[in-house]
Amino acid sequence: MEMGRCLLSSQLTPLLFSQIPSISLSLAHCRSISCKKYQPQKKKRLLLLHGFGIYTPFFNSSTPSSSSSCTKAVLSPEIPNQKKNYSKVAAESTGPIPFNQLLPVVETAATTGAQVVMEAVNKPRTITYKGLTDLVTETDKMSEAAILEVVKKNFSDHLILGEEGGLIGDSSSDYLWCIDPLDGTTNFAHCYPSFGVSVGVLFRGKPAAAAVVEFVGGPMCWNTRIFSAVSGGGAFCNGQKIHASLTDKVEQSLLVTGFGYEHDDAWATNIDLFKEFTDVSRGVRRLGAAAVDMCHVALGIVEAYWEYRLKPWDMAAGVLIVEEAGGVVSCMDGEIFCVFDRSVLVSNGVLHAQLLERIGPATEKLKKKGIDFSLWFKPENYRTEL
């Protein structure tokens, strides 16, 4: 089956992931990470070039590879990165675990969770509620259990933060896995095609490796595509290198945002921002799956995404994928971002300052009202470089 081809049957077909070819990476390491005020770096950065290859086998390996692969990633030509003067949020490396050992496990964990979701996508849902409108399904729990099994089998001493299961493992570990087993549960419950599985790994508090499996299509033609990134290794979709868009005008941009379940001051402020940017851009979308939204920025099909009140499992994978695709990440008040923060703005980088001209002051007003923007959560005893 080729990705993107409609399955003309109401019967569920087995999960098929597109075949991933060997990936040849040649990337620049540009590092300058802290949690201080967001501002361009004054010192010239050291450019270290690395060349390496990755191959991660996918499930259903018997599926023949084809030159006419499904759903192609949006590719941009190689250009000089004009956004290197922004502080990075990624880890400087994957630590003592080599990237070619860590990333395959991250991808396997995400695709294993996605198998569980695919098996359930056309079946009746068992839905419960964490809040008035905050859904959780049995599929969320089963996907997380499958992901945990993969992680524990390979790295039994790592710390894990899952949306459904909370914090487990060794808090003295340098590695923290942030798992969203079904990002966009409400969309999944309605068979609306904007949901996915997100797995991000932090090394000492900073994103080091990531994979997001996005579900595309819809009823009777479900399929998937996988986004992945490793610190300093670029961003990929279905094995092809991707780059954020080069759009440099807000009025020519397509933007994305999200709204939490609490209809409080932050929610009202973002409603106002939604209106403002709708007036000055080509449009603002609200799709309902943070990790997927960020991957769309990395893919170059939208220019920016922002949201208040996200959690580490919502952001850990997506922010790394955006940054490795040449984009920029900050908090919504303009400060340098870390995964434990309570707001995020990701963009193609070219538009970042223009977006902050509106988003920054709105967020500062919230802070003056006493809205808490301190770090949401950092596991006790977990070592970070923040």
The CATH number linked to 348 is 3.40.190.80
Over residues 243-256, mean pLDDT = 98
Query: Contact at 8 Å (CB) between 201 and 183?
Result: no
Q: Determine the Cα–Cα distance for residues 341 and 306; give it in Å rounded to an integer.
A: 13
Q: Determine the Cα–Cα distance for residues 346 and 315; give it in Å rounded to an integer.
A: 10
Q: Determine the Cα–Cα distance for residues 242 and 236; give it in Å rounded to an integer.
A: 5
Q: Which of 33, 31, 29 is nearest to 336 (CA)?
A: 33
**Residues forming a β-bridge with 26:** 51
Range of the domain at 110: 99-369
Residue 214 belongs to some domain of the structure: yes
Is pLDDT at 132 greater than 70 in this prediction?
no
Query: Exposed, middle or buried, 224 (CB in 10 Å: 0-12/13-18/19+)?
Result: buried
User: Which 3-state string (H, E, C) describes 86-110?
Assistant: CCCCCCCCCCCCCHHHHHHHHHHHH
Most confident among 23-27, 52-56, 179-183 (mean pLDDT): 179-183
Neighbours of 77 (CB within 10 A): 6
What is the 8-class DSSP label of residue 248?
A: -
pLDDT tens digits along 290-317? 999 999 999 999 999 999 999 999 999 9
Residue 5, SS3?
coil
Q: Distance from first CA to last CA of the chain, Å, rounded?
A: 45
Q: Is the whole-model pTM more than 0.75?
A: yes
- Would the annotation count 49 as a binding residue? no
Crossing angle for the helix pair 312-324 and 290-299, nearest 10 degrees?
A: 0
Q: Which of 170-174, 246-250, 320-324, 328-332 has the lowest mean pLDDT?
A: 170-174
Confidence of residue 380 (pLDDT cuts 50, 70, 90): confident
Residue 346 belongs to some domain of the structure: yes
Instruction: Identify residue 123 by its one-letter amino acid code.
Output: K
Share of the chain above pLDDT 90, in %: 65
**Residues forming a β-bridge with 57:** none
Residue 115 belongs to some domain of the structure: yes
Q: Determine the Cα–Cα distance for residues 247 and 253; give it in Å rounded to an integer.
A: 7
pLDDT tens digits along 218-237? 999 999 999 999 999 999 99
Residue 74 belongs to some domain of the structure: no
The tokens describing 106, both together, are 């991250």
Over residues 152-169, mean pLDDT = 94
The tokens describing 369, both together, are 């009202």
- Would the annotation count 163 as a binding residue? yes
- Would the annotation count 180 as a binding residue? yes
Residue 21 belongs to some domain of the structure: no
In sequence order, which residues have a C-beta less than 8 Å from that of residue 268 and are 6 or more positions away? none
CA atoms within 13 A on the CB side of 259: 17
Residue 71 belongs to some domain of the structure: no
Number of domains in the chain: 1
Query: Contact at 8 Å (CB) between 16 and 60?
Result: yes
Instruction: Identify residue 314 by its one-letter amino acid code.
Output: D
In sequence order, which residues have a C-beta less than 8 Å from that of residue 109 and are 6 or more positions away? 147, 150, 151, 177, 179, 199, 211
The dihedral over CA atoms of 156, 159, 162, 164, expressed in degrees to the nearest 10, equals 80
Q: Which of 130-134, 195-199, 211-215, 267-271 has the lowest mean pLDDT?
A: 130-134
Query: Contact at 8 Å (CB) between 185 and 173?
Result: no
Instruction: Identify residue 254 by its one-letter amino acid code.
Output: L
Residue 375 belongs to some domain of the structure: no
3-state helix, strand, coil in the chain (%, to 5): 25, 25, 50
- Would the annotation count 48 as a binding residue? no
